[in-house]
Chains A and B, each alone.
Chain A
Amino acid sequence: MSVPIQKVVIVGANLTGFCAAAYVTSQLKGSGLQVEIIDDGSGEYSPIVSTQASVNSVFQSMGLDLRQLMAATDAAFNLGQAYEGWLGAGSWAFNSFTAPPNMAGFFEFQHFWLKSMQSGNVGDYHQYSLAAMAARQGKFAFPSPANPNPLTQLSFGLNFNSAKLMAFMRSLSINAGVKVADGTLQAVESDENGTVSAVLMSTGLKVQGDFFIDCSLLAKSVLDSHFNLSFHSRYETSPVNRTACIVLNNQDEPLLPQTSVRALPNGWLKQCSDQNRTATTFVYNSNQLTDQEVAIGLLQHMVNQDSDEQPPADVVFSELTPGNKVASWVDNCLFIGAGTFQSCQLDYCDFSYVFKALESFVKLFPHNKNSYNSHEYNRWTQADYNQLLDYECLAMSLAANNETEFWISLKKLELSEAMQHQLALFKSHGRLIDQRQALIAKHQWAAMLISRGVIPVRNHPLMSVLDQADGLPELQSQIGSLVAGMPSHRQFLLRFCQQ
């Protein structure tokens, strides 16, 4: 008969590992489950991680108080992603977590916008988004309980100081009884079916477990090798393969509640801020630029932008391999984190998928060492990974620039059939594929496509017979006054975190 899971061993005492430990223990509190985490020294991660709005419910299910969590981790709010320079220098667009207002039930917001555009009196798409306008002006507020205007219901993600988030998750874990063992993993002990029974460490220590979660960020971990798991690269040659990151203090600047991505001639520049620091990451192709060129360019960019001084930070380079493991749960072993899934770091908050994976795992918590639930888990996660990589591929292929080698190569990216279909649907009448379990909401597809200059040739035909006024001018002015009444993001945070 089956052996119930009594002990989970997590490999990797890093951010992913402690999030896993804290989440699993919080969800199985009182079950007698033991968790041990192995510090194999693989502790690399970006200095700031962001999560998307849907992860808030995970924090909630862990019983975390938002204020405490944010205060302890220097977290800032994140209303969505700003796109800078994708339609020429100075251009700006926004992709918000918040769905646009429901205009007339049946038809999606972009159809109303298109209708106004056809009659010639309409502003940019993002002008009708409270989130976008607030983010642009560095403002943020929760809806007022006294005035529950549905328009003020903003969905937000969070931008964390990674080291502090890890410390926070670590102390949650330790308080929940999680043990930490030091040592590099050397080998795996398994039974005759290949099921892992223990891991052996360089210190000679042997850690036994019923289930293993591999959070090591290594391309090929000991557990990987045991199962002979391959990593499937999304591209034969990836259009981007390296990042350079620099972190600076931001206390003297306005704090924008967003992540941003700016198109540059040879790559793109992402920015993401917690309460005190801004991480700037340049994503590029190392066949086109040397590290030195990048470092100089990055520093110059920061200098030009922010001050006359030489920035006091070092540039950290990392490799980038977009793709995913072909399976992420095998036998009694789960693989999560950057070693399991990597995007091209264009959009979206990769770290969210760590929580999404953990959520799915607990939903499908194994009954025994060979739980059939792994099939379902792999089905979910593979579909999610595919969709994310597909989305990103489409977004990259709608290149920002026609002239440089970098963007010309992106334009040539081959789209999956689903993405060709999506593009054709949107181009003709502004329609979107209907997907129920989508990680990326329809309004986010619309915002991304419009931000790339994909403007439908025609509108939904039934819009022309809808006599309802579009209401866009009123919406815009309402948003204007709402934003004017909002405190700055920094002021809001200061008050919120100190209460």
Chain B
Amino acid sequence: MENQLIKKIVIVGGGSAGWMTAAALSRYLGTHCEISLVESDQIGIVGVGEATIPGIREFNQKLGIDENDFMRATHATYKLGIEFNDWTQLGDSYMHPFSYFGHDMNGVSFHDYWLKLNQLGDETPISAYSPGYVAAKQNKFIHPNQDPKSVLSRYFYAFHFDATLYGQYLRQVAEKAGVRRIEGKVVAVSLNNAGGIKDVALESGQVIEGELFIDCSGFRGVLIEQALKTGYQDYSRWLPCDSAVAVQTESVAAPTPYTQSNAQAAGWQWRIPLQNRVGNGYVFCQQYLSDDEAIDTLLKHVEGEVLTEPRVLRFNTGRRNQFWNKNCVTVGLSSGFLEPLESTSIHLIQTSIMKLINLFPDQGFNQADIDEYNRQMIEQFEQVKNFLILHYKTTQRSDTPFWAYCKNMEIPEALSYRIELFKKTGQIARCDDEIFVHENWLAVLLGQKLMPEQYHPKVDMIDTAQLKMIMQQMKGVVNQAVAGMPNHQETINRWCKS
């Protein structure tokens, strides 16, 4: 059978999305295909995007990246979860740890047992049973244990890193594998007879032809939107934030092994600790807050000397109608934007790339593959969307117009079903989610103070006194294991100090 392998791939954009794509495609295609990446120094990259979720490790592994080497190069720290402050009520705090809570027993989820003791007046928070949480709050970190019997096998980790350095790191990986980098600004895109992209023309006059184009051009969507007019689904009625102001500060203490998200009057503020500095930002909604007010609030709430000028970014929350249109696939900010509340953007980039490799086209561009890719990516975006909305919708705050809006807004039916089911029965609705599963939903649902009315009837099959003892033991095992862990900074010093 004739070989119809794609011979020329053109990636437009050299931010995290562009270089992640280049590194991965070159890894799988080797030298069988010519991969070019066009980026414009004049435009630059968005330069934020520094907190990740655990799936990033799998991606790095697939690329053959040595973790310590990569962490050293990007000033990375370890991340065990995200702490949410003031989200439910002013003064409230919870964490979404990348970790299990306790152990399931008798085929019943751990949280049902916890719920029973809670109803009986035991005030131990469920997080006390989460090794990831307990370690994070004590500023401790060690790589999880491989032995499934150890409680230290029951958490996962991700990273905080310098986005610009991560891009550069992947650039090296990609260039070593043969990716050709072209500096220049795309000023024109010409289409072929099939309505797909034929070539892109740079300011310099250079014309670059390709068979498969990957749009990693950031919010602009130079190919997918400006050239192909793919269209956009707007999510802002559920996720009204449309701006962010970002600033970097000097570290004043050892880095915490978790991201912080602190609710503010019209949005929330992130704090991402790297080895050498801290990334901060305020994600807000212009309708309720001016840029100046946002900058003011941000600067008031950062610690340490401010290293950069506050930078304002605008975005439009939503997604493209299609992620793969004709011979163009969109990856990164060009594919859509979901605010960084759960650090999902880089994860979505990685998912897009792996799905593209899985459904990789040949010159024929089969529509069924394209449909399948779009079906899967739309699902991904919709799932993350619902997970993010959950944080806002379940607030009890109405102290500012922004929070009052969030509390009272209408939400997608799939999400209201989930919330209802959890409240009435303690069950987490079964779903096809890839990114956030049972434990993640549980952490946020309980963290947002949604208390199920009922626990599973099977819980009562364990005698209450005995249950108390088992739970006490579980907690003890977690505390003991964490007590023996080195602190976060020590582990960094040992493995990946930059």
Q: Which of B119-127, B168-176, B202-210, B364-372 contacts A (4 or more CB under 8 A)?
A: B364-372
Please tell me if A220 contacts chain B, counting CB pairs below 8 Å.
Answer: no
Tell whether, in the assembled complex, residue A425 and residue B372 are in contact, meaning their CB atoms are under 8 Å apart.
yes
CA distance A487 to B402 in the complex (A): 72
Distance A462 CA – B430 CA, assembled complex (angstroms):
34
Given contacts A106-B358, A458-B1, contact A421 B372 (CB under 8 A): yes
Q: Let me know if A376 and B360 touch, CB within 8 A.
A: no
Q: Which residue of A lies closest to B457 (CB)?
A: A365
For B108, give the chain A residue with the smallest CB separation. A363
Interface residues of A in 158-173 (CB under 8 A from B): none
CA distance A175 to B102 in the complex (A): 34
Query: From residue B57, how far is it (CB to closest CB) to chain A in Å?
Result: 16
Known contacts A367-B454, A429-B366, A461 near B425 by CB under 8 Å: no
Q: Are B32 and A465 in contact (CB under 8 A)?
A: yes
Q: Confirm or deny: A415 has a beta carbon within 8 angstroms of a beta carbon on chain B.
A: no
Assuming A364-B427, A431-B369, is B1 touching A462 (CB within 8 A)?
Answer: no
Residues of A within 8 A of B43 (CB): none
Q: How far is the CA of A458 from the CA of B5 in the complex (A)?
A: 11
User: B5 touching A465 by the CB < 8 A rule?
Assistant: yes
**Does B360 lie within 8 Å of A28, measured CB to CB?**
no
**A380, CB-defined interface residue at 8 Å:** yes
Type the 1/0 row for B1-13, where 1 means its CB is closer than 8 Å to any CB of A: 1011110000000
Residue of B nearest to A460 (CB): B360
- B413 within 8 A of partner (CB): no
Chain B residue nearest to A438 (CB atoms) is B432
Interface residues of B in 218-263 (CB under 8 A from A): none
B311 within 8 Å of A by Cβ?
no
Q: Which of A425, A437, A459 contacts B432 (CB 8 A)?
A: A437
For residue B423, which residue of chain A has the nearest CB? A372
B427–A376 touching, CB < 8 Å: yes
Is A205's beta carbon under 8 Å from chain B? no
- Are A380's CB and B430's CB within 8 A? yes
Q: Which residues does chain B contribute within 8 Å of A363, judged by CB atoms? A: 107
The interface residues of chain A lying within 8 Å CB-to-CB of B483 are none
Kindly list chain B residues whose C-beta atoms are within 8 Å of the C-beta of A4.
457
Within 8 A of B (CB), among A125-179: none
Is A28 touching B420 in the complex (CB atoms < 8 A)? no
Say whether A288 faces chain B, with CB atoms less than 8 Å apart. Answer: no
Q: Residue-by-residue, is A371-391 near B (CB-CB < 8 Å gives 1, otherwise 0)?
A: 111011001100000000000
Tell me whether A5 is interfacial, beta carbon within 8 Å. yes
Among residues of B, the one whose C-beta sits closest to the C-beta of A61 is B107
Asked if B454 contacts A2 (CB within 8 A), the reply is yes
Residue A296 CB within 8 A of the other chain: no
Is the pair A436, B434 in contact by a Cβ cutoff of 8 Å? yes
Q: Does A27 contact B (CB under 8 A)?
A: yes
Whether B357 lies near A29 (C-beta < 8 A) is no
Q: Is the CB of B359 within 8 A of A431?
A: yes
Which of B359, B366, B372, B432 touches A436 (beta carbons < 8 Å)? B432
A31 contact set on B, CB distance < 8 A: 457-458, 460-461
Distance, CA A327 to CA B4, complexed state (A):
49
**In the bound complex, what is the Cα–Cα distance between A362 and B359 (angstroms)?**
38
Complex Cα distance, B461 from A364, in Å, reads: 15
Q: Which of B33, B364, B371 contacts A421 (CB 8 A)?
A: B371
Q: Which of B1-28 contact A (CB under 8 A)?
A: 1, 3-6, 28
Partner of A367, one of B5, B357, B425, B430: B425
The reply to whether the CB of B362 lies closer than 8 angstroms to some CB of chain A is yes
Q: Are B369 and A428 in contact (CB under 8 A)?
A: yes
Residues of B within 8 A of A464 (CB): 3, 5, 32
Closest beta carbon of chain A to B435's beta carbon, Å: 12
List chain A residues, Cβ under 8 A from B456.
365
Bound CA–CA A365/B367 (angstroms):
44
As a 0/1 sequence over residues 93 to 133 of chain B, the CB contacts with chain A under 8 angstroms (1 = contact) are: 00000000000000100000000000000000000000000
**The residue from B372, B432, B454 contacting A431, defined by CB atoms under 8 A apart:** B372
- The CA of A373 and the CA of B425, in the complex, are separated in Å by 7
Instruction: Kindly list chain B residues whose C-beta atoms are within 8 Å of the C-beta of A30.
Output: 461
* Residues from chain A with Cβ under 8 Å of B361 in the complex: 461
- Check A28 against B1 for contact (C-beta < 8 Å): no
Kindly report which residue of chain B lies nearest to residue A375, judged by CB atoms: B421
Contacts of B485 in A (CB 8 A): none
Q: CA–CA, A436 to B362, complex, Å?
A: 26
Task: Name, among B32, B371, B456, B457, the residue most crowded by chain A CB atoms within 10 Å (CB to CB).
Answer: B457
Q: How far is the CA of A437 from the CA of B32 in the complex (A)?
A: 36
In the complex, B30 has a CB within 8 A of chain A: yes
The answer to whether A367 touches B362 (Cβ under 8 A) is no
Q: Is A300 an interface residue (CB 8 A)?
A: no
Complex: A61 Cα to B104 Cα, angstroms: 14
B458 vs chain A, min Cβ distance (A):
6
Please name 22 pairs of A and B residues whose Cβ atoms are closer than 8 Å in the assembled complex, sorted by A.
A4-B457, A27-B458, A31-B457, A31-B458, A362-B107, A363-B107, A366-B457, A367-B457, A375-B417, A375-B421, A379-B430, A380-B430, A421-B371, A428-B368, A429-B366, A431-B368, A434-B372, A437-B431, A460-B360, A464-B3, A464-B5, A465-B33
Binding site for B on A (CB under 8 A): 2, 4-5, 27-31, 61, 106, 118, 362-367, 371-373, 375-376, 379-380, 421, 424-425, 427-429, 431, 433-437, 458-462, 464-465
Please give the residue numbers on chain B whose beta carbons come within 8 Å of chain A beta carbons, in ascending order.
1, 3-6, 28-30, 32-33, 107, 357-362, 364, 366-369, 371-372, 376, 417, 420-421, 424-425, 427, 429-434, 454, 456-458, 460-461
| Beyond A27-B458, A372-B425, A428-B366, 6 additional pairs, beta carbon < 8 A | A4-B457, A106-B357, A373-B427, A434-B372, A436-B434, A460-B360
